[in-house]
Every structure is written in C-alpha cells, then in structure tokens.
C-alpha cells in the first residue's frame, strides 16, 4: 500500500459508484463510460492495496473497507464540490438556464405556469411525471436527470436534502347531478359508491392509505387509472367517485362540472417536500431555483 494520497479523481469515481449503486449509473452521473469507471477503480485498488468491490449477480457490492473509506471521504469531497460550485455565477436576468424536475400531477400545471411568466425571460422549466417504481424513485436525482423533485415523503437517502413546501388537503369528487350524492357525502355513502382509484402506489400502499386509518379496503373499485386527471374525467361522465388533492380538483371543478367534498372520515393532510442532492446546496443557480420554488409554494401551490 502506498503512503501517498490517491488522486482526487479516483476518489471521486469511487464515491460516485458508492452513491449511485452501480458502475453504469456512476458513469452516467460523471458523464463518462463504464470502462473508464472500471479502470479508475482498478487504479485506486492498486494504490491502496485493498479490495473495494466484489461481484454480485450483474452488479457490484462494496466491501467493509470500501464502506469505511467512503464514510471518511464523502464530506471532504462534497465540501470541495461546494467550493468549485460557489465560484460559478448566476444572474436571473442575464443567465440562461433550463431546470428539469419531477413533480406530482396536481402541481405540474402550477409549476409550468410559474416559469412561463415573462418575468423569467431566460429561465425555463421542464417537468416530468413521477416514476411509478418505488425502487427507482430517487434515480432521477442521483443521476442528475432532474435538478429537484417534489415528493409526498421526506427522503431516506444520505445524499439527498429536503424541505417541506406545504401541506395540502384532498377531497372526494363526483359529477354534478349525481343520482345519489348532492351537497354532502357521508361515510356510508362513500363506501357504498363505486370508485376510480390511482393505480400508482408508494411503499406498496395506495395514495389515500398513507393519509387515513379509515379502512378503504371496503371500497368497490371499478377503475384503476394511471393519472388523477383520467380519474376526474371518468367521474365527470359517470357515477363513479374519486379522491384527488384539493388544488387539482379546483383546477377542473368548473370545466368538468364536479362536486367537491371534505372526506367524512379522519385524515391527514398531504405533505409536499422539495428534494435535491446535497452537493448542490451552495451552487448559485440551483439555490436560486429552490428558493423560487419555496416562495411559489407559499404564494400559489398551497392554494
């Protein structure tokens, strides 16, 4: 084992493989190829004289030594990244920047409208729908496909930072002129009707199950939609009922001729968190973008 400090680039590659979970994702993250990543890991292994990763199936698993090494170098590497990011400049009036994010369906329109405002002439926003796979929920952040994401849960990843934007209500929705529901809905009515539900789950539970202890398994479900809007549209043309965030229901209440009801059972509000990589905490344009979203959440998104 050499007593010399390994090349910083080798340590950066090593840290990326740990954080991304695979050589291929680390290569994408660092804008290089898998062969370069493998070569760098080989050089680092030779330098320190220790095995860092072992093959497991189609991927690699870090050794105990690698875990220990990473725990000691991750903060210094993040601090160095911050130093170089702070050297950058960003001016909202003159700098051109396109931000990319993923967000829940009920916030997408408000977010896009925020950055279509002529106030930000050289700033634009691209919004993606949320991933459907729980196991890949953070992949877009970790590979830097997205600058930020909005999620209903705080993150459980050591390299991701978060802040709560706001808590929002949800409502039960049905069409006007519904044959059995008019002006109010009771708990027994809610269970007696036929439902359109969101097919997407988080932590193997449907969205509503995260926000109430009421036994929703008793519901009669007729339609499993992949979007809340498709559920709203179906309910506007049928006798089905559905549940959506209040902000989304208000967007379409008039156009789709909907009735909105506060749930007749106990429930918790929907929390919305802004998530980003810790390494971008002090990067000027990224910091401005986050602050703009936080400000917007107070002014528009929480309405």
pLDDT digits (tens, 9 = 90+) for 101-116: 999 998 998 888 887 7
DSSP at 130: P
Instruction: Report the mean per-residue pLDDT for the chain.
Output: 86
Predicted pLDDT at 229: 94
Backbone angles phi, psi at 41, to 5 degrees: -65, -35
- Per mean pLDDT, which range of 34-48, 60-74, 132-146 is the poorest? 132-146
Range of the structural domain that residue 152 is part of? 97-167+270-301
In a domain, 41, yes or no: yes
In a domain, 42, yes or no: yes
In a domain, 14, yes or no: yes
Confidence of residue 85 (pLDDT cuts 50, 70, 90): low
Instruction: Look up the CATH number of the domain holding residue 213.
Output: 3.40.190.10
Structure tokens at 59: 């991927």
Give yes or no for residue 86 having a pLDDT over 60.
no
> Which pTM was predicted?
0.71
Torsion, Cα 274 278 284 288, to 10 degrees, reads: 10
Predicted pLDDT at 288: 92
Give yes or no for residue 83 having a pLDDT over 80.
no
Strand ranges for the chain from DSSP E: 53-56, 59-62, 97-102, 123-128, 148-151, 160-168, 170-175, 194-198, 201-202, 205-206, 220-225, 242-245, 258-261, 270-277
Condensed to tens digits (0 to 9), the pLDDT of residues 205-262 reads 677 777 888 888 888 999 999 899 999 999 999 999 999 999 899 999 999 999 999 9
In a domain, 3, yes or no: no
Predicted pLDDT at 128: 94
Percentage of residues in the chain with pLDDT exceeding 90? 42
Same structural domain for residues 278 and 154?
Answer: yes
In a domain, 92, yes or no: no
Rounded average pLDDT over 26-36: 84
Domain count, the chain: 3
202 vs 123: which has the higher pLDDT: 123
Same structural domain for residues 280 and 157?
Answer: yes
Rounded average pLDDT over 128-150: 87
Confidence of residue 88 (pLDDT cuts 50, 70, 90): low
Give yes or no for residue 188 having a pLDDT over 90.
yes
Give yes or no for residue 33 having a pLDDT over 90.
no
Instruction: Look up the CATH number of the domain holding residue 73.
Output: 1.10.10.10
Confidence of residue 36 (pLDDT cuts 50, 70, 90): confident
Cα–Cα distance between 266 and 123 in angstroms, integer? 42
Same structural domain for residues 255 and 275?
Answer: no
Boundary residue ending a domain (31, 55, 86): 86
Predicted pLDDT at 258: 97
Same structural domain for residues 102 and 180?
Answer: no
Same structural domain for residues 187 and 157?
Answer: no
Measure Cα distances from 120 to 52, 91, 93, 97, 175 in Å: 47, 11, 7, 10, 38
Q: In what order do the strands lie in the sheet with 242-245?
A: 242-245, 170-175, 258-261
């Amino acid at each position: 084992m050499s007593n010399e400090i390994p090349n910083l680039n080798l340590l950066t590659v090593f840290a990326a493989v740990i954080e991304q979970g695979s050589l291929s994702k680390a290569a994408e993250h660092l804008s290089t190829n898998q062969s370069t990543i493998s070569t760098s890991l080989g050089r680092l292994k030779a330098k320190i004289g220790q095995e860092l990763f072992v093959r497991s199936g189609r991927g690699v698993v870090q050794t105990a030594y690698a875990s220990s090494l990473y725990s000691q170098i991750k903060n210094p590497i993040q601090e160095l990244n911050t130093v170089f990011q702070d050297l950058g400049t960003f001016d909202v009036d003159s700098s051109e920047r396109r931000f990319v994010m993923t967000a829940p369906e009920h916030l997408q329109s408000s977010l896009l409208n925020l950055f279509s405002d002529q106030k930000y002439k050289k700033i634009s926003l691209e919004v993606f729908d949320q991933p459907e796979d729980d196991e890949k929920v953070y992949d877009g952040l970790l590979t830097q496909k997205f600058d930020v994401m909005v999620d209903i849960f705080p993150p459980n990843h050591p390299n991701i930072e978060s802040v709560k934007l706001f808590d929002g209500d949800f409502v039960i929705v049905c069409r006007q002129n519904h044959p059995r529901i008019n002006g109010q809905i009771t708990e027994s009515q809610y269970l007696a009707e036929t439902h359109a539900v969101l097919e997407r789950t988080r932590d193997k539970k449907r969205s509503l199950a995260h926000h109430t202890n009421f036994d929703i398994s008793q519901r009669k479900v007729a339609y499993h939609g992949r979007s809340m809007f498709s559920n709203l549209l179906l309910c506007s043309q049928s006798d089905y009922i559905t549940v959506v965030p209040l902000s989304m229901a208000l967007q379409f209440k008039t156009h789709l001729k909907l009735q909105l009801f506060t749930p007749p059972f106990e429930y918790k509000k929907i929390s919305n968190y802004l998530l980003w990589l810790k390494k971008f905490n002090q990067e000027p344009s990224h910091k401005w973008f986050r602050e703009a979203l936080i400000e917007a959440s107070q002014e528009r998104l929480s309405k």
